């Protein structure tokens, strides 16, 4: 046993110091083989999920697929397919091994995707085109989809580049993406660049050359401490006058940039191809990055059908999106049918207090701690509401309102990717980046993503397959109706 302990320690060292994902994954699999986790994966039974339900569903799918019974497959999938059927997405299931999960769960996901393939390719004398289209529309809507949310974090935001780089290399990027403050820059890159273009744009060299002087002191007595023209010129170079609608047509990604109002009696806004198709991405990102005091608030711009640039929401200015909508999950759920979130979180106000594993408390101490935390949050908001009501000064009232918004937000998702908690992170928040600091943040983002890639693949495989086949059917329908040229 001591020999095995030494070998496990060696593998843990290899996992910690892997130079790329393939090395990381190989060391994790070797660790699982030695630690006994592989045997755990192979055993169906567990109190953490309903293995009997999943096993029965696998058997029914296999039987229907073997018979080529398309209507039976559609019925089985219709009757109860969702992302956490039988609690298969329970985060406790990933604590037993370094990568992967129960083989039964992986088999179930594979059986569902094979069933979807069989339905899509079914003979249309057996299942006609519009029956297929209806099935994929209804099932995709009911099943939902995942989103990627990139938080604010000022200079730490380049951590997101490493996260996105890892997801892009494995073709695991969700098509719904939001970004606030620094996260909006990376979200906008996702929305305006294809797979290969992202490989270049997410390199340390490219990011450094673009943003090496984005924090230039403007002097006292200005609307912001830093000169916003340097940042704005960098954003113009990246995104030009591209609108949200134009970006969506180019990449097919639904990107959202969040902005906060610079005055009272206004709510945060989500700018995207649905809510603001003609808004210009450059100005939206510039506004989302406008940290109060640091940068001046921004007048948004839009493009008319004739190509003219005009004010968007005249007489209003907007600032840092993370103040009121760092992770706008509920509104993304309404707009895009999102029911699962992947969060890359670098907000210095949030990171020290959250864990990458979002697990429900299962001990009296954990339950008490969570309850006390929620109680403290509720009491803080109540106290701030009282102070705001008693404050007469408009500027002070606005500042108090922003503080309330920061406290009242939810800063975690279903999957949370976080940088390591290090004191040096604070020094990078408001400093100009160096090539080395950007490289370190990108590598940090990649490494933090690696343990989650297997989880993300499992949690998004079915929804992406549904959306892909639905998209193929929609394209075919458009051709047959004469809406596009073949």
Element housing 119 (H / E):
helix 103-120
For residue 181, indicate whether it is catalytic: yes
Q: At what angle do helices 182-192 and 159-169 cross, to 10 degrees?
A: 30
Give me 51's structure tokens.
Answer: 């293995």
Phi, psi of 256 (to 5 degrees): -125, 135
> Do 463 and 139 form a contact (C-beta atoms < 8 A)?
no
Neighbouring C-beta atoms of residue 445, cutoff 10 Å: 27
* N-term to C-term CA, the chain: 65
Write down the catalytic residue from 32, 227, 320, 326: 320
HSE toward the beta carbon, residue 182, CA cutoff 13 A: 23
As a whole number of angstroms, the distance between CA 327 and CA 349 comes to 13
Q: Give residue 350's Cα distance to chain centre.
A: 16
Write down the catalytic residue from 46, 181, 437, 444: 181
As a whole number of angstroms, the distance between CA 224 and CA 362 comes to 47
Neighbouring C-beta atoms of residue 127, cutoff 10 Å: 17
Q: At what angle do helices 435-480 and 159-169 cross, to 10 degrees?
A: 40
> Do 419 and 448 form a contact (C-beta atoms < 8 A)?
yes
CA angle (213 as vertex; 205, 443 as ends), nearest 5: 35
Beta-sheet pairing, 318-319 with 269-271: unpaired
Number of H helices, E strands in the chain: 20, 9
For residue 151, indicate whether it is catalytic: no
Beta-sheet pairing, 301-303 with 309-311: antiparallel
Q: Say whether 338 sits in a helix, a strand or coil.
A: strand
> Do 156 and 214 form a contact (C-beta atoms < 8 A)?
no
Name 1's Cβ contacts closer than 8 Å, sequence gap at least 6: none
Per residue in 158-192, is it b (16+ CB within 10 Å) or e — as a string?
A: bbbbbbbbbbbbeebbbbbbbbbbbbbbbbbbbbb
Q: Which residues are catalytic?
A: 181, 320
């Amino acid at each position: 046993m001591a020999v095995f302990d030494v070998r496990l320690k060696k593998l843990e060292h290899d996992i910690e110091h892997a130079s790329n994902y393939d090395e990381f994954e190989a060391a994790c699999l070797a660790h699982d083989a030695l630690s006994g986790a592989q045997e755990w994966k192979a055993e169906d039974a567990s109190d953490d999920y309903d293995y009997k339900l999943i096993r029965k569903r696998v058997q029914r799918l296999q039987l229907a697929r073997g018979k080529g019974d398309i209507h039976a497959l559609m019925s089985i999938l219709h009757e109860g397919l969702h992302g956490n059927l039988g609690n298969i997405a329970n985060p406790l299931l990933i604590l037993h091994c370094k990568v992967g999960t129960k083989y039964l769960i992986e088999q179930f996901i594979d059986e569902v995707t094979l069933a979807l393939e069989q339905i899509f390719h079914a003979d249309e004398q057996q299942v006609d085109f519009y029956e297929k289209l209806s099935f994929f529309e209804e099932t995709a809507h009911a099943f939902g989809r995942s989103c990627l949310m990139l938080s604010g974090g000022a200079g730490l935001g380049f951590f997101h580049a490493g996260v996105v780089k890892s997801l892009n290399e494995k073709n695991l990027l969700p098509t719904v993406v939001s970004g606030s403050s620094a996260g909006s820059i990376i979200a906008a890159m996702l929305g305006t660049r294809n797979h290969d273009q992202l490989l270049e744009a997410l390199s340390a060299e490219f990011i450094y050359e673009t943003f090496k002087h984005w924090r230039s002191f403007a002097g006292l007595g200005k609307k912001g401490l830093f000169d916003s023209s340097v940042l704005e010129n960098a954003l113009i170079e990246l995104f030009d006058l591209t609108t949200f609608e134009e970006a969506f047509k180019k990449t097919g990604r639904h990107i959202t940039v969040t902005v906060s109002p610079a005055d009272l009696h206004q709510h945060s806004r989500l700018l995207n191809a649905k809510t603001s198709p003609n808004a210009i991405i450059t100005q939206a990102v510039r506004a989302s990055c406008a940290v109060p005091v640091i940068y001046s608030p921004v007048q948004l711009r839009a493009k008319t059908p004739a190509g003219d640039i005009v004010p968007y929401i005249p007489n209003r200015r907007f600032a840092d999106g993370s103040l009121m909508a760092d992770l706008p999950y509920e509104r993304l759920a309404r707009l895009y049918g999102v029911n699962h979130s992947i969060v890359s979180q670098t907000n210095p106000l949030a990171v020290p207090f959250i864990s990458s594993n979002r697990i429900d408390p299962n001990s009296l101490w954990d339950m008490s701690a969570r309850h006390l935390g929620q109680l403290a949050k509720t009491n803080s908001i109540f106290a701030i509401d009282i102070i705001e009501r008693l404050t007469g000064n408009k500027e002070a009232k606005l500042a108090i309102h922003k503080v309330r918004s920061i406290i009242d937000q939810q800063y975690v998702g279903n999957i949370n990717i976080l940088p390591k908690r290090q004191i040096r992170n604070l020094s990078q928040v408001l400093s100009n980046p160096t090539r080395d600091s950007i490289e370190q943040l990108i590598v940090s983002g990649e490494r933090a993503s690696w343990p989650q890639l297997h989880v993300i693949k499992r949690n998004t495989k079915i929804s992406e397959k549904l959306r892909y086949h639905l998209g193929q059917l929609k394209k075919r329908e458009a051709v047959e109706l004469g809406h596009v040229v073949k």
